[in-house]
Amino acid sequence: MTFRQFAFNNVIRNKRLYAAYFLSSLFTVMVFFTFSIFANHPVLSGKDMNSSVTQGMNAAAGIIYVFSFFFVLYSMSSFLQSRKKEFGLLMIQGMSMKQIRLMVFLENMLIGFFATLGGIFLGVVFAKAILLLAENVLIIESALPFYFPTSAIIITFVSFIILFFFISLFVTYVLRSKKLIELIKANKISKGEPKANLFLTLAAVLLLGAGYTVSLLVEGMMVVIAMVPVIIVVCIGTYLLFTQLSVYVIRSLKKKEHVFWFKTNMLLFSDLAFRMKDNARTFFMVAIVSTVAFCAIGSLFGFQTVLTSSIKATNSTTFSYKTSEENKEQNVAFINQTLKEEKIETKSEYTDLRYFPIGQDTILITSESDFNRFASLIGEDTTDIKEGQVMVVEFEGTNFGQTTELLKETIKLTSGTTLKPNEVMHSKALPATDSYYIVSDQDYQKLPEPEDVQSYYAWQATNGEEGIMAASEKLYEKLPRYEITAVEYEIYEVMKGYGPILFVGLFIGIVFFVSAGSFLYFRLYMDLDEDKQKFKSISKMGLTDKELNKVLNRQTMILFFAPILIALIHGAVALTALSNLFYFNLFKESVIVLSVFLVIQIVYFFIVRFFYTKQIKASI
């Protein structure tokens, strides 16, 4: 057997440990390759295509590549930690440290080579499906036909072979400092009873509490100002939670005899503190990486909702036209003709929007009858304004109005009467993102000359909605963009620009989450041999199969869900802060995103638990 064959057989023998590392690396390569396919696609790289799409794909590929470096580096460090005893035995049998370093180098290059080839192969296989998905997400007018991505293959292969080469070199360098006695006794060194520092335990609670409190209380631009300090505080608090607070809680539970001696709790708690302390760094990384994934995808979908909802809220009718120009009759005739050509049936209304100097601002004041006509057009309830009464209208769906300020102001009529507003209502009948006033028809006639007047026309489609996009394109070609508004076309344009960001963020978030799952897999299987010996000994003392299943379930459940639960809490708080930033309720989007990730983690837990339990039982 040659030395290369020995290294190859070593990989095969350790396939259980290498499986998650190989599959995660393969998935990362596939995602990088996918972005490379888009960045080099003839349609996307054409001069008619917005360059931001290809720039976004290249940037995403760069982020994936940098993350891959640290992911592979951490994974290899985990493998070396679990194989110290193996290396020590090989040295006893005559292998030099130089040969061990060469063996590790060859093993890592072998895995990297096949992970790179596998990722490229799967990328090519699923390229057409991904291109079809991208057409919908990116909202590209031209189809994205399949092409053989020669450039993407070369870029991906060379990039990842270089990455694995340098990481393999780095890992072999780290092995230089290991001594034989250290390798042989790697799993036998007594760690002592884990202890928690009371000061650091309290610091964990205070830091997390302070970070959460600030995140939930600040609003508007204060969210942006507080973001960096909160992230730093929460990261430190999270690390202390796993290294100190968890150990403190477990030690406290062990001191409660009715808890510790209850059924199989002794087996669970006996080494749980050791596991939490040993796995603290892994748990911290998983919690932070998962939080990044949750927040990235949650923020992207949340921001998409904010954009589309804002457009719908500020433009309640299918088409609207607002102008101060003299050729308005000609343009309105063109709009009506276009709607007729596209067979769109509508109801329409017209009014003059009059703006008056109120305090330091110029505020819209409308009459009861005008407001009610537009409210009826969009299906809202009408209002009844008595003479002398003033209603402040706050724009429905936002908190950006001037309601508080307008309630303090007064309206002076030409008759000398002064009107004081005292009621507030929400509506989106008229196109005003700021708050405005409604007065009775009688009082409206007594208003002074307005400072500004705009003609406002609105059309609400009742039939023929399929022609709206075609009509919108014609209207936007002919009329100024600041005068004409078509809601569906505005949303289409926004999503066309936002699509690449959503597409890139979705893939990056998935890569982060998959990597977090791999970290947990590594830690679980690094302790497998030790767990086999432990449960083999305990089973001889009368541990039943049912009790063994219960202990293994609880042990793996804590490992898998402790960091994910913290990440879900972090994500929920962060997405709540995002809601406060935009003054927009993103509860639905937050629940959907976090629930999807939780379901994926539960499925992953059942799969890993099945194989882990099977391995333990096979050794008994």
pLDDT in tens, 294-330: 998 898 888 888 888 888 888 889 999 999 888 889 9
33 and 175, same structural domain? yes
The dihedrals phi and psi of 425, each to the nearest 5 degrees, come to -135, 160
| Chosen domain end from 172, 189, 206 | 189
Residues pairing with 484 in the sheet: 321
| Chosen domain end from 141, 161, 189 | 189
Report the candidate in 616, 613, 618 with the shortest Cα–Cα distance to residue 557: 613
| Chosen domain end from 486, 507, 537 | 486
Q: What is the pLDDT of residues 149-188, one digit of tens each?
A: 888 899 999 999 999 898 888 877 776 655 544 555 555 5
334 and 296, same structural domain? no
pLDDT at 7 over 90: no
146 and 18, same structural domain? yes
Pick from 27-36, 39-48, 144-153: least confident: 39-48
Report the candidate in 344, 608, 555, 285 with the shortest Cα–Cα distance to residue 469: 344
pLDDT bucket at 15, cuts 50 / 70 / 90 = confident
226 and 301, same structural domain? yes
pLDDT at 363 over 50: yes
Task: Write out the residue range of the structural domain in which residue 594 sits.
Answer: 191-312+487-620
Q: What's the average model confidence in pLDDT over 531-558? A: 80
347 and 421, same structural domain? yes
- pLDDT recorded at residue 48: 47
Pick from 17-21, 281-285, 323-327, 452-456: least confident: 17-21
Q: What's the average model confidence in pLDDT over 32-53? A: 68
**What SS3 state is found at 190?**
coil
- pLDDT recorded at residue 116: 93
pLDDT at 542 over 80: no
- pLDDT recorded at residue 238: 95
DSSP assignment of 459-521: EEEEE-GGGHHHHHHHHHHHS-TTTEEEHHHHHHHHHHHHHHHHHHHHHHHHHHHHHHHHHHH
pLDDT at 455 over 80: yes
347 and 388, same structural domain? yes
Percentage of residues in the chain having pLDDT higher than 90:
34
C-alpha distances (whole Å) from 176 to each of 71, 84, 91, 169, 308 are 22, 13, 13, 11, 57
Q: What's the average model confidence in pLDDT over 554-568? A: 89
Q: What's the average model confidence in pLDDT over 328-346? A: 93
pLDDT at 384 over 50: yes
Averaged confidence pLDDT in the chain = 84
CA–CA gap between residue 3 and residue 21 (Å, rounded)? 23
Q: What is the pLDDT of residues 223-258, one digit of tens each?
A: 999 999 999 999 999 999 998 998 888 888 777 877
320 and 302, same structural domain? no
pLDDT at 11 over 80: no
382 and 415, same structural domain? yes
Q: What is the pLDDT of residues 49-92, one digit of tens each?
A: 455 666 766 777 787 788 778 877 777 776 677 677 777 777 77
603 and 496, same structural domain? yes
Record the pTM.
0.80
Q: What is the pLDDT of residues 249-283, one digit of tens each?
A: 888 877 787 777 777 677 777 777 777 777 888 88
320 and 275, same structural domain? no
Q: How many domains does the chain have?
A: 3
- The first and second tokens of residue 598, run together, are 């939780």
Of 156 and 27, the structure prediction assigns the larger pLDDT to: 156
The H or E element spanning position 452 is strand 452-463
Of 103 and 90, the structure prediction assigns the larger pLDDT to: 103
142 and 198, same structural domain? no
pLDDT at 193 over 80: no
321 and 431, same structural domain? yes
